[in-house]
Amino acid sequence: MIRQAVILAGGLGSRFGGRTKEMPKGFIEIDGVPLVERSVRKLIAAGVEEIIIGTGHCASYYEELASRYPCIRTVRNGDYAATSSMGTLAVCAPLVTGDFFLLESDLIYDAAGLFVLANDERQNVILASGATESGDEVYLASDGDGRLCAAGKDRDAVLGPAAAPSLTAELVGISKLSRAALDKMLAYYASDPSLQKIDYENVLAHISAAGEIPVCVRRIQYYAWAEMDDEAMLERALRQVWPRIQENESLHAVRREVLLNPGPSTTSDSVKYAQVCSDICPREAEFGTLMGWCADELTRLVADPGDYTTVLFGCSGTGADEAMLASCVPPDGRLLVVDNGSYGARLAKIASVYGIAMDVFKGSTYEPLDLAALEEKMKSGKYASLAIVYHETTTGLLNPLEVICPLAKKYGLITLVDAVSAYAGMPMDLDKLGIDFASATSNKHIQGMAGIGFVVCRKSELEKQKDWPMRSYYLNLYDQYYYFLETGQTRFTPPVQTFYALRQAILETRQETVARRFERYSECWKILVAAIKEMGLKMLVKEEFQSHFITAILVPETPRYSFCEMHDYARARGFTIYPGKLGNIDTFRIANMGDIRPSEMERFVGILREYMHSIGVC
């Protein structure tokens, strides 16, 4: 897994003349997106966690970019005018911790190149294409073992005058390198002051030819890519290369299905593709590191990892609820469960299956809880723990945990929160909210694949469970936590590929931020609510108590309405919707969780309107 990338962006771009006088080459736009920004998006989609950009000329452009992409760190090469690409790489080097992609800033390229390099079993690989005739080629020569031995612009000097055209290998400007190779490059660069203006590819050729570290040339004959050094190259890129890249990449697009059901939610293609990776035994340290990283990042989204930890299981959201309930009620303690919807009722059902002593506090499914009555219960002294759902997915009602959990803490209760359909959908701070345990899943707002359930736990409360008798063997929080702490492994086989998808989903969540995700959801929700009102439909829950994640709509009072027909009508047009889940009130539900865009919600409400019109509702 390649976690870092370095983009060399110090250059003056002087061959462009006026265009790059006050702007770096990387900010030349194609289809409205700067070259470097497109490259950053491709690197994130390829699973890169951190992108280090070595800047120089007009560095402020890159700093502005970094303010929009939290994964970017910029480092300025103060000597950019007197050095070259190797000088910029040298200033980035202190931030490089392991294997990394090295890229030039002025490229457009087919993202397949990153996939090919990442999956090449060799550690140091430089990407090459066949002849481009772009006018500014850098040729690469390799020995019989495919190892780089020379690089340069003079074809005859590099490849030999007799080299057949079909053997031409041109430098693309994308490589995969190890930290060890970088160290060799730095040592050579520092060895001779006359190398100040040397380009990184020549340094690579030197260390490889000298046998210090092998750098292999990976040649893709018809690779679609272009570098932009002057107007003619830009023109060629626009006319010949960009359409090919678009076509190639479109061949990998997954048919879009917009899921307006409340999870599993719509995922990005990059999350789907993250599952396509080499096989690994989950007991390898490398996989343990991946799971540990996921756990830490999941904690970080809602709490301080110093005080909280995330315990992961291969299971659905109900599995996470079950782990939490079976583990977090003290052996002789009594549980108070709040039931104001199907998921609250499910918490009570799970507790009863485990034979946990319990009372149920019933609330309306569509009106706010009676907080005074709930407080009376909590202060009775009978209860050790409180279990409550944060967001009742049945109706879209958001329970005011910012009031309820601090009260529970005041009366000494351990707070167990089903946050399955709230976690990562809106900003939350577990400690401030007074939440000790929160269950969630990989496939709702975090926008990963189904298969991982997890509980974010207050460590001090989790530690107390050390000697409690187990109510469940598989779903035991403390055992799972402690075993992972000791071994870096889960006790039982984890869903390996789902973890790779979760990692990618976390990277994309970090990029979007939970706050902006909530804004996007709210925008979708507003579009939906406006359309519902305009069609004369009614919502079950008052707007001020809604989560913005799901909207329960009362079915129209006409015998012509059929959920199945409406579902099929929407599904045939790319949208999946969901029936209601309340026994006594007939509703249908529209969720806006997951990778859904406001433009898609606009399209959906048009479809809903068409259906409602067809049955005479509007």
Burial 559-572 (b: 16+ CB within 10 A, else e): eebeeeebbebbee
Quick one: CA torsion of 90, 92, 94, 99, rounded to 10 degrees? Answer: -100
Taking the complex as a whole, the smallest distance from the CB of residue 349 to ligand PLP amounts, in Å, to 12
Q: Which is nearer to ligand PLP, 34 or 263 (CB)?
A: 263
Of the candidate spans 317-325, 357-365, 497-505, 554-562, the one that interacts with ligand PLP by CB under 6 A turns out to be: 317-325
Min CB(467)–ligand PLP separation in Å: 29
Which residues have C-beta within 8 Å of that of residue 34, sequence separation ≥ 6?
26, 27, 28, 65
The residue among 218 and 548 lying less far from ligand PLP, judged by its C-beta, is 548
Q: Is 321 in the site for ligand PLP (CB under 6 A)?
A: yes
Tell me the CB-side half-sphere exposure of residue 561, using CA atoms within 13 A: 16
Tell me the C-alpha to C-alpha distance, in Å, between residue 382 and each of 411, 434, 462, 464. 10, 19, 21, 20
CB of 394 to ligand PLP, least distance (A): 8
Minimum distance from residue 414 beta carbon to ligand PLP (Å): 19
Nearer Cβ to ligand PLP, position 127 or 325?
Answer: 325
Q: Give min distance, CB of 440 to ligand PLP, in A.
A: 9
Q: Label the pairing between strands 385-389 and 335-339.
A: parallel
Name the pairing type of β-strands 50-55 and 4-9. Answer: parallel
User: How far apart are CB 317 and ligand PLP at their closest, in Å?
Assistant: 3
Distances (CA, A) of 399 to 264, 418, 459, 524: 22, 11, 25, 21
The full DSSP string for 195-217 is: GTT--HHHHHHHHHHTTSS--EE
Could you tell me if 450 and 441 are in contact, meaning their C-beta atoms sit under 8 angstroms apart?
yes
Report how far residue 94's alpha carbon sits from residue 289's, in angstroms, rounded to the nearest whole number.
22
User: Min. distance of Cβ 415 from ligand PLP in angstroms?
Assistant: 16
Find the residue with minimal CB distance to ligand PLP.
317
Please enumerate in sequence order all residues whose Cβ is within 8 A of that of 33, keeping only pairs 6 or more positions apart, or say none. Answer: none
Are 309 and 295 within 8 A, CB to CB? yes
| 443 contacts 591 by C-beta, under 8 angstroms | no
Residues forming beta bridges with residue 90, ordered by sequence position: none
By CB under 6 A, tell whether 317 contacts ligand PLP.
yes
CA angle, 360 as apex, 359 and 365 as ends, to 5°? 175
The residue (of 343 and 499) whose beta carbon lies closer to ligand PLP is: 343
Query: By CB under 6 A, which span of 104-112, 233-241, 312-320, 331-339 interacts with ligand PLP?
Result: 312-320
Rounded to the nearest whole angstrom, what is the least distance from the CB of residue 389 to ligand PLP in the complex? 5
Radius of gyration of the chain (CA): 28
Q: What is the nearest approach in angstroms of ligand PLP to the Cβ of residue 256?
A: 22
Residue 305 — φ and ψ, nearest 5°?
A: -60, -15
Toward ligand PLP, which CB reaches closer, 308 or 343? 343
Query: Is the Cβ of residue 57 or residue 391 nearer to ligand PLP in the bound state?
Result: 391
Among 318, 385, 399, 546, binds ligand PLP (CB under 6 A): 318
Q: How far apart are CA 495 and CA 316, in angstroms?
A: 11
Judged by CB, which is closer to ligand PLP: 52, or 452?
Answer: 452
Which residue's structure tokens are 């090469």?
A: 77
Q: If binding is defined by CB under 6 A, does position 261 make contact with ligand PLP?
A: no
CB closer to ligand PLP, 134 vs 439: 439
Interhelix angle 598-614/514-534, rounded to 10 degrees, is: 20
Question: Which of 241, 358, 389, 531 touches ligand PLP (CB under 6 A)?
Answer: 389
Contact with ligand PLP (CB under 6 A): which of 152, 173, 214, 263? 263
451 contributes a contact to ligand PLP by CB under 6 A:
no
Compute the least distance from the CB of residue 262 to ligand PLP, in Å. Answer: 5
User: How many CB atoms are closer than 10 A to CB 285?
Assistant: 11
Q: How far is the CB of 393 from ligand PLP (least distance, A)?
A: 3
One residue of 105, 316, 546, 551 binding ligand PLP per CB under 6 A: 316
Torsion of CA 128, 134, 138, 143, to 10 degrees: 40
State the Cα–Cα distance between residues 376 and 517, nearest whole angstrom: 36
Taking the least distance from each CB to ligand PLP, the nearer of 87 and 396 is 396
Minimum separation from the CB atom of position 442 to ligand PLP (A): 9
Tell the smallest beta-carbon distance from residue 343 to ligand PLP (Å): 4
* Cβ proximity to ligand PLP, 39 vs 342, nearer residue: 342
Residue 218 or 391 having the CB closest to ligand PLP = 391
Q: Does 541 bind ligand PLP (CB under 6 A)?
A: no
Q: Rank residues 393 and 490 by Cβ distance to ligand PLP and give the closer one.
A: 393
DSSP 52: E
Nearer to ligand PLP, 389 or 514 (CB): 389
Binding mask 210-249 for ligand PLP (x = CB under 6 A): ----------------------------------------
> Which single residue is written with the structure tokens 């520092």?
190
Q: Out of 343, 454, 518, 578, point to the residue binding ligand PLP (CB under 6 A).
A: 343
The least distance separating ligand PLP from the CB of residue 366, rounded to whole angstroms, comes to 16
d(CA 324, CA 302): 17
Residue with token string 């909280």 = 308
Q: How many CB atoms lie within 10 A of CB 121?
A: 7
Q: How many Cβ atoms from other residues are within 10 Å of residue 247's Cβ?
A: 11
Q: Which residues contact 24 (CB under 8 A, 6 or more apart)?
A: 9, 11, 13, 36, 55, 57, 58, 61, 62, 105
Which residue of 83, 393, 509, 551 would you call a contact of ligand PLP, by CB under 6 A? 393
Through-space distance between the first and last CA atoms of the chain, rounded to whole angstroms: 53
Pairing of strands 358-362, 335-339: parallel
- Looking only at residues 140 through 159 of this chain, which bind ligand PLP when binding is defined by CB under 6 A? none
Which residues ranging from 407 to 436 are in contact with ligand PLP (CB under 6 A)? 418, 420-421
Total residues binding ligand PLP (CB under 6 A): 13
Q: Which stretch binds ligand PLP (CB under 6 A): 129-137, 214-222, 313-321, 478-486?
A: 313-321
Catalog residues that contact ligand PLP under the rule CB under 6 A: 262-263, 316-318, 321, 343, 389, 393, 418, 420-421, 441
